[in-house]
Each structure stands twice: as C-alpha cells, then as structure tokens.
Amino acid sequence: MTPGEPLRLDFLPWEYARVGSDEERERQIERQQRLSGTLSLADNVYVAESAAVYCEELRMGERSYIAAHAYVTGHITLGSDTTINPFSAVRGRVTVGDGVRIGAHTSLLAFNHGTAPGEPIFRQKHTSLGITVGDDVWIGSNVTVLDGVTIGPHSIIGAGAVVTKDVPANTIAAGNPARVLRSRSDSGPKPSTDLAGRLSAFTAKARAQADDVLRRCWDGERFVDRPGLDHEPAIRPWCDAVEIADVLLRRTPEGHTRDDLVRRLRARQDPESGLVSPGDLADVGLDVPATDKLSVLEGPASYHILCVGYALQVLDSSFEHPIRTDFAPGELERQLDNLPWARQAWSSGSGIDALGTAVARNLKDHGESGPLETLMGWLLVRADPASGMWGEPHPDDGWLQVVNGFYRLTRGTYAQFGLPLPYPEQAVKTLLAHSNDKRMFSGDGYNACNVLDVIHPLWLAGKQTDVGRADGTRWAEDQLTRILDRWVDGEGFAFAPDGTDDRSIPGLQGTEMWLSIIWLLSDYLGLSDAVGYRPRGVHRPEPLVSPR
C-alpha cells in the first residue's frame, strides 16, 4: 500500500475475518487500542481506520464491523455479524441485533432537539429515547431512522426511507415517512385491507363528533365522565377530555383555554408531597387538602400522577413541584414486597406504575433522579421466568389479576423508560393463554381495561420477539373488528360496551381508553397509518424518558 492510499479493508471489511493478513490484524489491534470509552469487542471485529468512532460505550459482537468514514458516537451495541457500512452515522443510544446490515450513507439518529417556541434551536434541550434494531434486519442505503424507533426482527427497510415510527417484525417498509408495504412471511397473517378502510372511516367519524362527545360531558361547571349519574366531582374526566380533544382535534376542548386548564390541573398538586389531591377542578381557589394519608404506591392520588401529569404534558406544561419518591434504605423493597401480589396483582402493578411514572416525571420535568435502579432491580429479581410476569394465577379468575397488573407495571417502568422486558417470550405465551379465557372478554368482562391489558403488553413484547405473532394477530383483528361497531354517535365509547351496569353508558373514560386501544391494536397489525392519530397522553407509544 502506498502512502495516502485508502485501506482496502476499510471499504471491504467483510474480508477481514476470512483473509486478513498478520500485518492487517496487527494494525487492527492498534486501531482498537486507540478507541476511547467502555469497550467490549469480540473476536474478528473490524473498525476502519478512517471511521470517526468516539463512543462512551461500544460493544461489538463477533465478525461485526464499522466501515470507512462512518460516524459512530454514544452508547452503541452491535450484535454478531452486524455491519455499519461506509459513510453511515450511528449516534446516541443504539442497540442493534445479530446479522444486521446497515447500508452506506444511512443515519440512525437516537437523539433530538426540543422545539419549544421562543427559544433558539441551539439552546433547546436534547432528548434521547434510543433506537432498537432486531436480529436479521437489512437497512438499505440512504435511510434515516429517527429517535425512539424500534425495527422488529427479520425486517427490510427500503433505500432512502425515513423511519419515524416502529416497524413490525417480518415486514418490508419504505418511503418518506416509511410505511409497511407487505409481510415477509407468506404463511403469516396479513392485515385486512377492508379493516384499514374501516379504521379510516371510523377516525373521520370520531373527529367529526369529538366536540359533541365533549359537550355532552360538560355540565356547565365541570367535566363529568358520564352525564346524568350521581358521581362525586373528579379530576380524571378533565384529563380524559384534554386527551380526547388532543388526539382527535389537536387542540383543547371547545370553550376551554390551554392556560386555564393548566392552572386548574396544577392547582391540585400538594407542594410537599407533589401528589395531586382528590377534589374538584371547578373551584381551584380553595385550599388544597393535606395529603399525609396519600401515597405514591397506593390510594386515590396514585392514578392522578398518570392522568394529570400526562394531561399537563399534552398541554405543553408539567407539574409545578417534584413528586416525593424518597425512601429510607431498604424501605422501598419492603413496601414492594408487602404489596398484595398473591391475590391483587393488579393493584400491586398499579402502584408500581404510579411510582415509575413519578420517577419519570421528576426526571423529565425537574431533572431529579429517583429510586429507578432500586425499583428495576427489584422487578428483575422478582419476575417469574416461567410466566414472564409478577404474581400467580387464581382459580377464581385465572390470569386476570396477573395480566392486568403486568400491563400497569410494565407501562410505568419498562415501556416508559424504553427498557426491554426480562422474559418477553414467556410473557407473550401467558398473555395469549389469558386471551382465550372467554369469561374475561364477554359481557361485563368485555371492557377497556381487559382489552388494553392484553394488547399493550403484546405490542410491547412484540418489539423483542415474534413468538405468538400469528395468534396475537388473530386476537387483535377480532378485538379491533368488534370495538369499531361499539361507537355511539355523539356519545363515544362506553367502558364496558356490552355490559349490564352503568359502565355500559358511553363516557369520557371509555372513549379515551378505547381510542388508545384502537391505535395499539392497529399498530400491532401494521395498520396505524390508517387510524390517522397517535396518542400523546397516558397511553403514548413512546417512552417518556430514557435512563442515563
């Protein structure tokens, strides 16, 4: 090689493992020794001399390589036989599986700038959700993959695509923005084109009637979940109204300003505990009651962490005060152990959902860290490798409590922080076994909670595994077909549309939850483009924050 001549292996690094000479191997060892950060490099990996590799953490599996003039920074994990080809950029927190091909001039950009008005772009805060690419994926040349995206295993991304949302496993996607074109599995289930048309028609109808739905639940002073029922004034209907207006209309409910809604929601937060006190938002000049008896892990304040926190975020605001999540040494573990896992796994999971959300809100809104490592460590140790879940089934209701608790728990922790589930394959098998329990999906059992608590975990685990995909697809298509017929003109969805009690009356909670469920079912089937909306509140698909 003459001085200044490009190294052949920089551009043809696949030759290194097979025919690399002793001189080339010695040169590669010296190259790797000059890399900075935390390194874990397997045998026969190759990093081009001309590649700009400045990682805080770099992990490379056997026979993986980074080719000429690639730009690689951040926390990068590459599986075995995975390649970053010439002139590509891979930046941020990026996890790539085995056997992945990243084409030349492609960018995986796992970070973003804020876009708040009134602040120059160069002063905006950075956000980073991370990018995950499954095994056996081919990403063509000149592709851009944006932050927060997961590309499922065995997928192909066509050249020049701009990937702005998750790509399901075993599919081919292309375009700007990228859309799923077809399945790679001839024997696998294929989404119905008729179902896509029904989804588009449903969304058009729901948008046209959204103001009618919200007006019906405004009594002149406050939002109520279902009109005509004798319920105590509550905070959640206000939050549901904010989310419905946002997801369908991209604005506040008719007759309500953003500033007034923010004022009402923030006024109920206790400055000491950070919790949202039960009460009415119609009169926000009253003193906020003491919250000594309220807890992050239990009680009426726990769900308010979710619904009020996300309603404020939808309104481009946040809690004024941090939520207290401090525990004495060993106290959090003791409280988690003492939750009623044996018979009430749902309430146990909902407490962890609230705690995880409080930690995430504090980190996002106030830059305060909390007991996340302790919480996630406890969850990892207590997860059942056989079921993938927490808690045990009961003869009276099978897996109901465990599955419903699994949804709440994982929503507030693994999903909200963009972390992988510990046992995704086993969890999917448990979910599908539960989905066949007809008692839980008929009559009063056919309700928003029971369907949500299956589809969200299936959707979440589907980012990591294809196990059970065919059965999950059949179940999701059946649920989607069923719920689209339950919309009541001008009134929305009932929480339990086939039920026998007052939960069969359409209201705000049922409408907000079923709109989110429809999106999750559709996205699991690769049909979310047909829906035409994307939840941004409690049931948003993106993580709230990414742990550092």
In angstroms, what CA-CA distances link 311 with 147, 167, 244, 327? 23, 28, 10, 27
Higher pLDDT, 252 or 369: 252
Q: Which of 42, 115, 108, 117 is nearest to 81 (CA)?
A: 42
Average pLDDT over residues 216-231: 90
How many angstroms separate the CA atoms of 514 and 432, rounded? 20
Residue 192 binned pLDDT confidence (cut-offs 50, 70, 90)? low
Average pLDDT over residues 411-437: 94
User: Does residue 58 register a pLDDT over 50?
Assistant: yes
pLDDT at 437: 85
Average pLDDT over residues 221-245: 91
How many angstroms separate the CA atoms of 363 and 341, rounded? 28
Give the model confidence (pLDDT) of 248-285 as tens digits.
999 999 999 999 999 999 998 989 889 987 766 665 54
Q: Which of 110-124, 235-249, 357-371, 389-403 has the lowest mean pLDDT?
A: 110-124
DSSP 187: T
User: Does residue 17 register a pLDDT over 90?
Assistant: no
DSSP 525: T
User: Does residue 64 register a pLDDT over 70?
Assistant: yes
Q: Which residues contact 291 (CB under 8 A, 6 or more apart)?
A: 270, 272, 273, 275, 277, 301
pLDDT at 32: 92
Range with the largest mean pLDDT of 186-200, 219-233, 301-315, 502-516: 502-516
pLDDT at 193: 55
User: Does residue 111 register a pLDDT over 90?
Assistant: no
Residue 545 binned pLDDT confidence (cut-offs 50, 70, 90)? confident
Q: Which residues contact 25 (CB under 8 A, 6 or more apart)?
A: none
Higher pLDDT, 288 or 30: 30
Residue 228 binned pLDDT confidence (cut-offs 50, 70, 90)? confident
What is the number of alpha carbons within 13 Å of residue 130 lying toward its C-beta?
21
Residue 547 binned pLDDT confidence (cut-offs 50, 70, 90)? low
Alpha carbon dihedral 357, 277, 267, 232, in 10-degree steps, equals: 120
User: Does residue 356 register a pLDDT over 90?
Assistant: yes
Average pLDDT over residues 356-365: 94
Q: Which residues contact 140 (CB under 8 A, 6 or more apart)?
A: 103, 106, 156, 157, 158, 159, 160, 161
392, burial (CB in 10 Å: exposed 0-12, middle 13-18, buried 19+): middle
Q: Which of 169-178, 278-287, 377-386, 518-527 has the lowest mean pLDDT?
A: 278-287
pLDDT at 287: 45
Share of the chain above pLDDT 70, in %: 93
Q: Which of 129-133, 168-172, 394-398, 503-507 has the lowest mean pLDDT?
A: 394-398
SS3 163: strand
In angstroms, what CA-CA distances link 427 with 180, 257, 366, 405? 26, 43, 34, 12
**Mean pLDDT score of the chain, rounded to an integer?**
89
User: Does residue 189 register a pLDDT over 80?
Assistant: no
Residue 296 binned pLDDT confidence (cut-offs 50, 70, 90)? confident
Q: DSSP of 23-84, one letter per residue?
A: HHHHHHHHHHHT--SEEEE-TT-EE-TT-EEEEEEEEE-TT-EE-TT-EEEEEEEE-TT-EE
User: Does residue 43 register a pLDDT over 70?
Assistant: yes
User: Does residue 101 register a pLDDT over 60?
Assistant: yes
pLDDT at 283: 56
User: Does residue 185 register a pLDDT over 80?
Assistant: no
pLDDT at 335: 93
Q: Which of 309, 295, 374 is nearest to 339 (CA)?
A: 295
Average pLDDT over residues 60-67: 92
Residue 414 binned pLDDT confidence (cut-offs 50, 70, 90)? very high
Residue 19 binned pLDDT confidence (cut-offs 50, 70, 90)? confident
Residue 6 binned pLDDT confidence (cut-offs 50, 70, 90)? low
